[in-house]
Structures are given as C-alpha cells and as structure tokens.
Amino acid sequence: MPERDVVSWNAMISGCVACCEYEKALLFFREMREESFEANSVTVVALLLACGELLDLRTGKEVHGYCLRNGLLYLDPRVGTALLGFYLRFDVRIACAVFETMGLRNAVSWNAMITGYLDVGKCKKALELFSQMLIDGIRCDNVTILLVIQACAEFGSPKLGMQVHQMAIKLDFCKDLYIVNSLVNMYSKTGSLRSSCDLFGSISTRDVALWNSMISAYVESGFIEDAMSLFAEMRFEGIKADERTIAIISRVCEDLPNGLLNCRSLHGYGIKSGMERNKHLGNALLSVYAAQSCVKDAKKVFHEIGDADVISWNTLILALAHSYESKGQACEIFGKMRESDTKPNSHTIISVLAACEAEAFLIIGRSFHGYVIKHNLEIDPSLNSALTEMYMNCGDEATARNLFERYGDKDLISWNSLISNYIRNDKAHEALLFFQQMISEMEPNPVSVINVLSSCTHLANLPQGLCLHAYTVRREFSMGFDLSLANSLITMYARCGNMQYAEKIFKTLSRKNIVSWNALISGYEKGLQLFTSMVQEFYITPDLVHYACVADLLSHGGSLGEAMKFVELMPIAPDASVWRALLGGCRVYSETKLARRISEKLLELEPTNPGNYILLSNIYAAADLWSEVNKLRAVLEEKGLKKPPGKSWIVIRGDIHCFKAGDKSHAQSDVIYAKLSSLMSSVKEGGYIHDLRWVLHDEEDEEKMKRLFSHSEKLAIAYGLINVSSGAPISITKNLRICGDCHEFSKHVSKLVQREIVLRDG
C-alpha cells in the first residue's frame, strides 16, 4: 500500500491472529513500530491474544509496559480484559494484580477474572469476586451467571446455587437453555436431584443438551432405571440423540442385566447416525465392552474411531489384558501404540501390566518396568502399586517388597494394594503380618481393615478378627457410615461360626438412605413399623418422599382415615405429592366425599397440573357423578390445560415399542390383538373380571369392556409376551398412572404364564 495508517496495520495484525498466524502478527507489529506508527487499543488486544497463544510471556510483558506508558490500560476496558486473558495463561496472581489496577472494568473483565479462578480450582474466590462485582454495582450478564452456577456446583453449595437461580429468574436469563442446562447440572452435582427434576419438568422447549443433562443427573445419582426411562421418553418425543446421549446411556449399560445387548444396540444406532468416528462416544463404548470382557467388540470400536487418543489405546489394552485369551495381544497393541503418534503414559503401563499375572510373564513385565525408567515416566503411587502387584503375581515377591520399601511417597493406596496382593496370592498370614507393620507406620482406613478381615475369614481366625473389630471401635471407624466395613465384619463372624456377633452388628446398623428405606417400606403394617423405627430408633428425619410413601401405603391399603390423620399430624407442610397419594387412594376405594376435600388442598398447590383434575374426574366418573366430570372438563378447557395422551412402552433389544389405547399402528398389530384375546379368555377362566369403574365415559357396559380390552398397558404386555425371550421378565412403563384394571390383568397374566411382569407408571 502506498499509504498506510494505524487502521490498515491493525487490519493486517488482526487478520494474522484470526488465521492463527501469531508469529506473523508480532512481525507486523515490529514493522509498524519501525515505521513510527503508534499502536492503539485494537492493536494491543490482537497482540496480547497472539502472545497468549504462543505462550510468549516476555513479549506480552513488553506490550503490557507499552499500555502502561501510553495510558491504554486506564482508557479502554478491552485492553485490561485482554491483559487478564494473557496473564491467566501463566499465573492467576499476576492477572489478579492487573485486575486490581484496571481503571475501567466492565462485565467482560469481571467474567474473565472469575473464569481464571475457576480454571485453577478456586471456586470460593470466584464466588467472592462475584459478590464484589454486585457490591460495585456491575450488572452481570448471562455469561456471569453461567460461570457462577459452575462455581456453586464445584463448591458444592445448593443453597448458593438456588440464590443464583433466583437471580437468573429476576434478570430473565432462564429463557437461555445454556443457563437452564447449567442449573440442572449444578443441582444434581450438589445432591439436589429433585430440584433438577423440577426445573427440567418446568421447561416446555427442551433441546438435546438439556435432555442429556437430566439423563446424566439420574445416572450420576444412581437412578439407572429412571435414566433409561427418560431416554425412552426423549426418543418418543422425537428428540434425536447425539454423541453425548449415546455415551451417557452406554456407560449405564455396565449396570444393567442385559447391558451388553443394549450397548450393541446403541453402537448400531451410533453407526447408523454417522457417529462411529466420534472419540468421546467411541471411548464410552470401549469402556463398556472392556467391562463386559467383549474383546472383539472393543477392537471393532477402536478401529472405527480412526484417530484414537491415549484414552482409547489405554482402554483397549486394559480390555485385552483382562481377557485370559488376549493377554498376549495387549502387549502387541502396546508395541503398536509406541510406533504411533500417541505416546504411552503411566496409565498405559498400569493397563498393560494387568496382563502380567503369571510367572511366564515375568520377563515381559520387567521390560515394561524398564520402559518406565528409560522414558522417565513419573512413578506415582498408582503405578508403583501396579508394578508391585505385577511382581507379586509373577512370583517375584522379593522385588515386589523391594519396590515397595524403596518408594518414598508411600500412601494408603500402596499399603492396601500390597496387602490385597498377599491375600489374592493365598498368603493371608503374610497379609496379617504386613498389616501389623503398616499400623506402626501409618493410620489405616476402613479399606485396610476390610482387606485384612478377608484374611481372617479365609483363615477362620476369629481371635484376630475380634482384635480388628476392637481396633475399629478404638479408632472410631463408624460402621454406620461405612457399610462395606460392617458387612465385612458380619461376613467374618458368620464364616468363623459366631452368628451371635454377626446378628448383633447387623441389628445395630443405623445408616439408611432414602432409597434403602423406601425399598423396605413395602407393605402397610411393616412399612408403617419401619417408618416409626426410622424416626424413633434411628433418629433419621424423614422428608416429603417418606411421608408421601407412607400416605400412599395407608391410603392404598384401605386405611384412608388413618392416612388422613397421618398427613394432618405431619411436622412439615404436605406438598402436592402427599395429597396426590391420598387422592389416589380415594380413587381405589371410591371415597368421593374425602376426595373432594383432598382435591381442594391439591389444586391449591398445583392449579395448573392437568393430572390432578383428571384424577379427580376419574373418581367422579367411577361414582357416576357425570355432572361433576363435565364441570372439571370445562375447568380444564377454560384454563387451557390438556390431558397428555396415555402411552405405554416396552424396550426390546434397544428398540422402543410404544402403544396408545386402541392402537393398531404397530407392524405386529394383528398378532398382538390375537395374543391379547387369547390371554383375556384364559385369565377370565382364572377369575379375572373387568373393573368397569376405570372407564371414564358414560356409556354401556359392553362399550366400557371394549375400551378396557385395548388399554395401552395390555397391548404392551401382549407384545412383550410375543417378543421377549421365554422366562425373561417383562417391564412396561407408562407416562400416566396405570389403571386398576390393568394392574389386576397383569397379576392374572403373570400367574398364568409364570413370568415376572413389572409395571411402572408416572
């Protein structure tokens, strides 16, 4: 150009940065200075970005000095924000010092500093900075809210998270699905799964990321069936699963009885959808196949990924190492990995060492040890334990002990690993001796005691077991907070023939979580007894889940009066779930008068839930109060509320088969209805009678029987009996409450065909 100005220089420098030509950008800056052009804030911002990408601290500091000399740091907040971004790549403390000296700070600057603290794990500092931002009167934006939600999740504070949620609502940020998604994640990570569910349920328009977050929340909280059910609902709603969805669900497969079959179905879905080369999904599938010892499938996935990373290599090697027939292949794959662009790390060595489990592998194991030394891989406690274990398994106890003794940074993992190695190699006595040495040098944890208790069990060494039990009491190991330790003691006493002590420990176990108690409260008399025991003997404060469960047990057990009294005496205000449980009991026992009273409480709490009106309408319909039914229908119409269509589904070999009442759209429709007719004839001979009270239309009995015949639950049961392999349980899920007639029908069918039929409803 014949004439250049600052704008043209800035255009060239910014263009180089945009094209990742960072060194060229710095060269243009030097030429610009040589031609006596002064850089402005636009130039500086681009240069600092280039220095950051090149990790060029020296040049970045020179640019910083230029900014100070020319006052740019105090005139334009973009310059300060760029400096923050640059220094945050090196040291958050320097960035903090720059932040404090900035003359002008906007939301972007504050966000950059909050991000810096989060990146180095200082979530408390990030929250304190956000608080200061509000005090200074800086209006936060949606990025700020996203960062603070992340900080609350990492800090583990649902209370703070709720406050940020309320702020997001006031600022009208909850229309942003990214923020909603972060809130769902935050609540689940801080142990408030119910809040995640409530928030998810309140969103009418959900994208695949939000579905993924909710499914993941269920998985992380251990609610595997709920995760699978939500995945089925997601697909039924027409939301296409992406790579993350399949990765989340595939990991769940490890915990399912038919997990391998489900994993293969998901694998096939991924291939059909063109996801097979996605590393995130591939590694998830690899992990499942490795856990299921399916070497052939694992190798197939590995080759599909194409550009495998170190996680892919390590997972495949571990899968091969754990397979008796493929241990040699694990060593071969390790050799191929060394020849590839992906270099082995300490986790790779840990994986391949798992193949060395016999004396024949001692030489190979030593060569892996040599590789660690030659390539200066960091020997952390995990790798040292793996090497020690390899030598123990290969019969070289002397080298194993020598490795352990020489390692300076021994931790509990190292001690526990060697003790468990002695036990696995049938050296229980040596394990006990080694434990004695351990307690003279380091305080053991419950895992240590569990390991040694298994030695006592193996040796039937009751005196040593008694000593260990006394040790746990002296060290105040709380069995109530470590069920594994308690179970190990029970096992030891039982195997050593002392059932009195085994039963005593069993009866004194006090730690029960919500899932445990809800599972135990399975019948009216015993359930109420356990609830009382939970409160009075174990001092566990029940929450609304427990109260709703007992209310449901009492009301469905026919004790509606006692259920009502139980709810009225609750120390906390009943929520909608408690009143709905009572109303459900009224439906079963046709208690119309009580239902009217309960519905007033329920509709006050949830005036916009159409399910509540439908439940009350069902009660009125069963009592032939059609005028009341019509009034409720008018209310629904006036409020613009619609009853969601009832649908039942069954998952077979990874495919979801969904049915609606009277549905004839399925490809096997003729066979399904023929099967259902056959079943109906058989169960009627066994005493089944249609319960016409569950038909919500004012019509003749014959028409009511036709409606009951083709309920979605019955169609799904018939389809399951046709297609699920003989003897396997049949699991049906419905989005609404399953009607009493279908419950009764399923009981008769289960008895008739001698198969377990599980019905789960909404």
Whether 589 and 680 map to the same domain: the answer is no
Residue range 212-228: mean pLDDT, rounded: 87
Please determine, for residue 517, whether its predicted confidence score (pLDDT) is greater than 50: no
Whether 521 and 633 map to the same domain: the answer is yes
> What percent of the chain stands above pLDDT 70?
89
Task: For the chain, report the end-to-end CA distance as a whole number of angstroms.
Answer: 72
Residue range 202-217: mean pLDDT, rounded: 90
pLDDT band at residue 506, thresholds of 50, 70 and 90? low
How many residues belong to the chain?
762
Whether 682 and 627 map to the same domain: the answer is no
Whether 630 and 652 map to the same domain: the answer is no
Q: Does residue 295 form part of some domain?
A: no
Residue range 366-388: mean pLDDT, rounded: 86
Q: What is the dihedral of CA 116, 119, 121, 122, to 10 degrees?
A: 10
Chain CA centroid to CA 585, Å: 34
Query: Which tens digit of pLDDT belongs to each residue from 562-618?
Result: 889 888 988 888 988 889 889 988 887 888 999 999 999 999 988 878 888 888 988
User: What whole-number distance in Å separates Cα of residue 691 and Cα of residue 290?
Assistant: 50
Tokens of 319: 């899968």
Q: Does residue 380 form part of some domain?
A: no
User: What whole-number distance in Å separates Cα of residue 697 and Cα of residue 714?
Assistant: 19
Computed over every residue of the chain, the mean pLDDT equals 82
Please determine, for residue 544, whether its predicted confidence score (pLDDT) is greater than 60: yes
- 306/199: higher pLDDT: 199
- CATH number of the domain encompassing residue 581: 1.25.40.10
DSSP structural state of residue 421: H
Whether 621 and 665 map to the same domain: the answer is no
Q: Does residue 479 form part of some domain?
A: no
DSSP count for the chain of H helices, then E strands? 43, 4
Whether 633 and 652 map to the same domain: the answer is no
Please determine, for residue 378, whether its predicted confidence score (pLDDT) is greater than 90: no
pLDDT band at residue 99, thresholds of 50, 70 and 90? confident
Final residue of a structural domain among 77, 105, 133: 105
Query: Which tens digit of pLDDT belongs to each residue from 668-704?
Result: 999 999 999 999 999 999 899 988 877 767 677 788 8
Residue range 162-171: mean pLDDT, rounded: 91
Q: What sign does the CA torsion over 433, 437, 438, 444 have?
A: positive
Answer whether 321's CB lies under 8 Å from 327's CB: yes
Query: Coil, strand, or helix at residue 28?
Result: helix
Q: Does residue 313 form part of some domain?
A: no
Domain count, the chain: 3
User: What whole-number distance in Å separates Cα of residue 156 and Cα of residue 127?
Assistant: 12
Final residue of a structural domain among 105, 135, 170: 105
Q: In the prediction, which pLDDT does 10 show?
A: 77
Q: In the prediction, which pLDDT does 507 show?
A: 62
Q: In the prediction, which pLDDT does 492 show?
A: 74
Whether 79 and 27 map to the same domain: the answer is yes
Q: Does residue 543 form part of some domain?
A: yes
- Residues in Cβ contact with 416 at an 8 Å cutoff, skipping those fewer than 6 apart: 445, 447, 448, 451
User: What whole-number distance in Å separates Cα of residue 535 and Cα of residue 570?
Assistant: 13
Q: Which residue range forms the structural domain that includes residue 750? A: 648-760
Lowest mean pLDDT among 119-128, 372-381, 588-597, 649-658: 649-658
Q: Does residue 508 form part of some domain?
A: no
3-state DSSP of 196-250:
HHHHHHHCCCCCHHHHHHHHHHHHHCCCHHHHHHHHHHHHHCCCCCCHHHHHHHH
Query: Which tens digit of pLDDT belongs to each residue from 316-338?
Result: 999 898 887 788 898 999 999 99
Please determine, for residue 239, whether its predicted confidence score (pLDDT) is greater than 50: yes
Q: In the prediction, which pLDDT does 55 show?
A: 84
Q: Does residue 317 form part of some domain?
A: no
Please determine, for residue 719, whether its predicted confidence score (pLDDT) is greater than 90: yes
Please determine, for residue 298, whether its predicted confidence score (pLDDT) is greater than 90: no
Whether 526 and 621 map to the same domain: the answer is yes
Whether 663 and 633 map to the same domain: the answer is no
Q: What is the dihedral of CA 713, 717, 723, 725, to 10 degrees?
A: 130
Query: Coil, strand, or helix at residue 25?
Result: helix
**φ, ψ dihedrals at 730, nearest 5°:** -115, 125
Tell me the one-letter amino acid at 647: K
Q: In the prediction, which pLDDT does 23 show?
A: 84
Answer whether 639's CB lies under 8 Å from 631's CB: no
- 696/488: higher pLDDT: 488
Whether 618 and 669 map to the same domain: the answer is no
- 515/108: higher pLDDT: 108
Tokens of 41: 């804030």
Query: Which tens digit of pLDDT belongs to each residue from 613-671?
Result: 888 988 888 888 888 988 988 888 887 777 778 888 787 764 668 899 998 999 999 99
Which range has the top average pLDDT, 50-64, 162-176, 535-549, 682-696?
A: 162-176
Whether 629 and 518 map to the same domain: the answer is yes
Global confidence as pTM: 0.51
Strand order in the sheet with 648-652: 655-659, 648-652, 730-734, 757-760
Final residue of a structural domain among 63, 83, 105: 105
Q: Does residue 247 form part of some domain?
A: no
Whether 574 and 605 map to the same domain: the answer is yes
DSSP structural state of residue 360: G
User: What whole-number distance in Å separates Cα of residue 617 and Cα of residue 587?
Assistant: 10
In 461-587, at which residue ranges do the beta strands (DSSP E only) sit? none
Query: Coil, strand, or helix at residue 655?
Result: strand
Which range has the top average pLDDT, 96-110, 408-422, 426-440, 672-686?
A: 672-686
